Every structure is written in structure tokens, then in C-alpha cells.
Structure 1
Amino acid sequence: MKAEIRKETDDGYGVSVVDNNEVKHKIGVCYDGEIDGHIQDRYPDKAAERTHSEGEHVGHARRYAQYYVARETEHDTIPWDLDGDRFEEVRQALEGLSDGEIETCFGELLDQSLSHYDDDPEVDIGDTSRPHELPAEKIGPEGAVGYKQEIYLDAAGEIEAVSGIGIEYYVARGERRTVWHGDGLEREPDACVDILPAPLVDPAPFRDYLSYNLRCQIRDCYLMRGMEPPAEYKVLGHGQYRFTGKYENFDLYPPYHLIDADIPGYTHEFRPDLPITWGELAGMTDPGRGDSLYAQIKGALFSR
């Protein structure tokens, strides 16, 4: 991706972008980040007539133009939900929280996630109960659901507040909805964790799970503007759920969301704070056994 600011207008900038297909775009980016004009001569003008890959290249050009203006000027033109630098600030603040602070901020989210394992004899959920029932209109198995929680930083870069919990689910093939329980602050959040249920029972590994999710989301921010992320964000795993369908179905993208995907330069690096050492963990596994490594170790990792 390449860009150049060609002119400044009354309400923004005219930006020239060359995408990864070497197609040139002329894009108007307002001071607030709104796109108020987009001309290119290679792809169909109507979105419905573009292939998936063509549509993604058009989206990359727009988001890269917003990113480039933010980088080159004093204007904040990146949408909050694609602002990787802000996500990293939140991630660092999150990693600094104590177990007690995790319980205070994210205890309800932890309980909601853990409630999916109440029938698993290998996961000791204690007296955990589900804070919010799943919507009756949800289709698919119980675990086919995602959870969100918005995070707000204060002026010092510390976590000031969190929102209620958002439950994301499908009501029909290709039709996804989110219902929120509780409110956030009356401003845009600095980030939003976006997780799948996981059998993590303690605050410390759950904090690491949230942090890793944000790391994957930062990867998504780069990929969605046609860029390769820096090395520290070349990680595999679930990031923002809205991009999972692209990674699963569009030829343009490898499956970045899969932890065992074979993508050169990318690795799965989730290493939670465990109740035992990695040496002890290695001693518990036996490749010669017929069951999976997960089955061999989950009693040590996911029990209170």
C-alpha cells in the first residue's frame, strides 16, 4: 500500500492511494475520518458487482487513506475500532491489572464465558452461574456465541471503566446480532475485547486471554488496510469476530483466526499465566497416549 496527500480542502484531504493490486484510488478523507469521495477505474463502481477480493481491495484503500492522514497530520481519522495504537495502550493497561482488578472489571465476563462448561466434568466452575441467559432466538449450539466488553482509558492511560457485556450470536445464516446487557460511558471506547467461551477459571489466565485477543485484533487492524503487521502482531487466533468470515471464506486471506494455520511468519503465542510451571506441564504429557494433549493437561489448567 502506498499513499500521498495531494491536496487539503475545506473539510479534509484528497489522498492518492495505490493498493496491493497496483490500482490507483483518489479518496477524500474528512478531518473527522469520514470518506466523502472515492474514485478508481479498475473495479466495478457498484459494490454488489465486485468480487469479494475486489471489494476487500476497495476497503483496504479507504482504511489505508484514513490511516495515512492520521499518520501525516494532526487529525484523528482512524475509526476507534480499527485503531491498533489505541488497542495497544489498552492491552498494556490490561496486563497491569491485579487479579482483584480483573475480578472487578471483567468478573462478569469471566463468569459468562465459564458458564459454558458447567456440564464438563474436567472443568471445575465452582459456584459460577451464568449472569445473562443466551437469547432465545439464537441458532446453533450453545457455544456458537461471542462476547464483547468495551474498555475506556483515563488521561493517564489506566482503565477508567468498562461497559456491560455484549452477546453476539446468529439468528440465521449470515445474519448476526449483538444484544448488550449494561451500558458504557457516553463516548467511544478505546477498545473492545471480543472473545469466544474458554475454560479459564482464574483471573490471571483470563487476563492473558483478553490481552491476547487484543493482540490479534491489532493484527486485524493492519490486515484490514492491506498491510502486513509488525512481527509482534503476526499471531494466530481469534481477533475481531466480524473478520472471521473473511478469513474463512475469502480467497484473499489465509485463515489467521485458526491457531494451527500454516501461514509463514505467523505463530500461535497464547501463553497464559498457569498454576503450574511449563516444566511441570511438559512432564504431564505423553505423545504415546491415545488421547489429545488437551485431554492430558486440562485438569491441571482448568480446575480451581
Structure 2
Amino acid sequence: MESTIEGEDENYVKVYITDNLDSEHELTIDKNSGDIPYHQCDAYADDANRRTSEENEYNNQARRYAKYYVFAQRGYDTVEHIENPAYVDAVRRAIADLSPAEFKRYFGALYRQLRSHHDDTERPRELPSGVRKPDAVVYEPEIYLGLEAVGEDVAERAQALATAHGFDLEESAEVQPVSELSDETLSRWKAFGDDLAAIVTREDLTTNLTITGVSGLHIGYPNRLGKHEVDEADSPFTHQADARLSLLPYAPESFDEFPAYLDHHLRCQVRDCFLKMGVVPPEEFHVVGFGKFRDSRRYDHFEMYPEVHKRDGNHTPLLG
């Protein structure tokens, strides 16, 4: 797999990507917004309606990877933070650094809300009136880091974040393969190996990576049409969040186990960020479990993805 940046001007970066079907893509990415005003791939029809759902997904993988590649190579903030493995992992690590009192202050209400589905714990937020099945809700609070970057600091801080968390693509290194993958599945996921750097030794960032805020409890649920609807709660900031949890109504019985539970959940989210780019995740994130709600639907729909969100059932776990 080859991923190259062919040119850059004041506003745009031109990227060439070869996807997991060896189809070549030419993309132009707005380095300020992450928008893609131009995307050409001769292997697939120009009209999305004339492509199969699988071809559309390979197209989308190329777009996600191209935006991330520009982020990692140039440091431009081209990937929404909640979809960027570097930011999601930064949140995970910042949570691990919280004192017990700080963790309870930020996540105590979330824990009580989750436990309210299983015992007599008072529910901090009542469920929206449109919820018909309480056990079908997904809790999606947003988490904010203390690294709000503005102006000229965006590129520098974003690249520092990618490098410090081992997600830099400057050096070419083979991603550790997943031993449980079948030969057929490995052939689908081999393409990006030479471009993705394996996990490197972690170093502390000079940027202040602390948790500075957590939103209220956003609640997602299937509406009457069966579509995922989110009832938004208040958020402490107006800028974008750095991670967004996606938790089913369950939590361990002991609050002392909740930090490890959130750590595993965010590892699953980092895994999902890589998988939907068509990339085998670094070994640290070869985990099985529920990460992002929309990604679990993607894994159910497309055979190209391993069913890493399912812990049991009629499947063979491919990661972890």
C-alpha cells in the first residue's frame, strides 16, 4: 500500500491513496477544515448510487485514511477529534492520570446512570420521552482535554499529539499482524501495513493533557423509525470535544472497577478508528468489545470488517 502527499498550497493538500482492493484514489483535502472537495477513483462509479455498498465503504475508508494521513504527516487538524485515534487515546491516558476524587467528580454521575438500569440507584438524568426500551439506550457524554489549540498552534499541537501517542506516519514500519486473522481476512487488511507506524515508546507531551470538562449525559436511542436519535445534554464548551463515549446501559458493580472499564472502552474506540480506515490497529488495541455505536453497526453490515464488537455469539473473535 502506498500513501503519498503529492502537493500542498496555502489551503489544500493533494493525497494519493491505494485502498485494500488496490484501487487508486486521488484526493484534495482542505487542511483547515478537513473537507474533501475533490476525490477521484477510476475503479468505482462517480455516482454513489451506482456503487455497491461495499465499494462505497472502500471509498469512505480511503477518505478517512487520507484525512488521517495528512494529520499525521503534516499536523493539520483534518480529522474530527472524536474520530482521531490520537485524541481518543490522549483522553484515555488523561483519565488514567486522574485522582480518585477527580475521577468521581467527572464520571460519578455517568456511573450512577448506568447502574440505575440494574439496581435502585437514583438516575441523575431521566430518559427522554421517546425512549421505548430503556435497555436499548446508548450514553454518549463528551470529554474535553486541556489542549484547546487555536490559530497557528493547531498544526504544531496536532502533530505533537500524533507523535507522542505513537500514531506518527513519518517512519515506515510494519504493523504487527493479528495472529487470529484468517489468511483471507489478512489479505483484505494488508494494504496499509507499510504506511502505519507500530506503537512507539510513549513520552509525555509538553501540552497540558488533562481532563478539563465532561458534558452532560447525551442519550442515544432508536426512534419510531428505527433510526439512532440523540437527546443532547449541556456541554461546558463550544469547541469540539476530544472523545465521545458510547456506552450501553451497563457498568461493573464496584465503582473501583469503573476506571478500567472506561479504559477498555476507549481502547475499543481507538481500534474502531483504525479499522474503519481499513487499517489493522496497533497491537495495544487488539481488543474485543463495544467501542463506537455506529461502528458496531458497520461491522454487522460489512463482511470486510472483523466482528470485534461481539464478545460472544456465533463468531470467532479476530482481535484480542
Structure 1 and Structure 2 fold alike (TM over 0.5)? yes
Point out the structure with max Rg over C-alpha.
1
Question: Partners of 2:47 and 2:64 in 1: how far apart?
Answer: 18
Report what 2:102 is aligned to.
101
The two structures, once aligned, show a CA RMSD in angstroms of 1.6
Tell me the alpha carbon deviations over residues 67-95 of structure 1, each in whole angstroms, 9 at most, x when there is no partner.
11112213222221221111111111111
1:74-93 correspondence runs (5 A):
74-93=75-94
Question: Partners of 2:291 and 2:141 in 1: how far apart?
Answer: 13
| Structure 1 segments of 4+ aligned residues over 3 angstroms from their partners | none
One-letter code aligned to 1:68: Y
1:52-131 correspondence runs (5 A):
52-118=53-119, 125=120, 128-131=121-124
Tell me, what secondary structure is at the counterpart of 1:238?
coil
For residue 286 of structure 2, the aligned residue among 234, 244, 264 is 234
Question: Partners of 1:105 and 1:47 in 2: how far apart?
Answer: 42
TM-score by length of 1: 0.80
1:10-21 correspondence runs (5 A):
10-21=10-21
Which structure has more relative contact order (CA 8 Å, sep 6+)? It is 2
Tell me, what secondary structure is at the counterpart of 1:239?
coil
One-letter code aligned to 1:116: H
Question: Partners of 1:10 and 1:239 in 2: how far apart?
Answer: 36
Tell me, what secondary structure is at the counterpart of 2:7?
strand
Q: Does 1:138 align with 2:131?
A: yes
One-letter code aligned to 1:15: V
In structure 2, the gaps of 5 or more residues are 148-207
For residue 197 of structure 1, the aligned residue among 249, 252, 255 is 249
Judged with a 3 Å threshold, the aligned counterparts in structure 2 of structure 1 residues 199 and 68 are, in CA distance, closer, same or farther, namely closer
In structure 1, the gaps of 5 or more residues are 119-124, 268-304
Tell me, what secondary structure is at the counterpart of 2:44?
coil
Verify the 8 A CA contact 1:213 1:239 in the aligned structure 2. yes
Mean Cα deviation higher: 201-210 or 163-172: 201-210
Report what 1:263 is aligned to.
317
Question: Partners of 2:266 and 2:137 in 1: how far apart?
Answer: 18
Verify the 8 A CA contact 2:13 2:31 in the aligned structure 1. yes
Shift of 1:178: 0.5
Tell me the alpha carbon deviations over residues 22-72 of structure 1, each in whole angstroms, 9 at most, x when there is no partner.
000110011121111101111222223322211110011111111111122
Report what 1:9 is aligned to.
9
Tell me, what secondary structure is at the counterpart of 1:56?
helix
Question: Partners of 1:74 and 1:91 in 2: how far apart?
Answer: 21
One-letter code aligned to 1:168: G
Report what 1:292 is aligned to.
none
Report what 2:238 is aligned to.
186
Aligned residues: 257
Aligned-pair identity in percent equals: 35
Q: Which has the higher strand share?
A: 1
Report what 2:213 is aligned to.
161
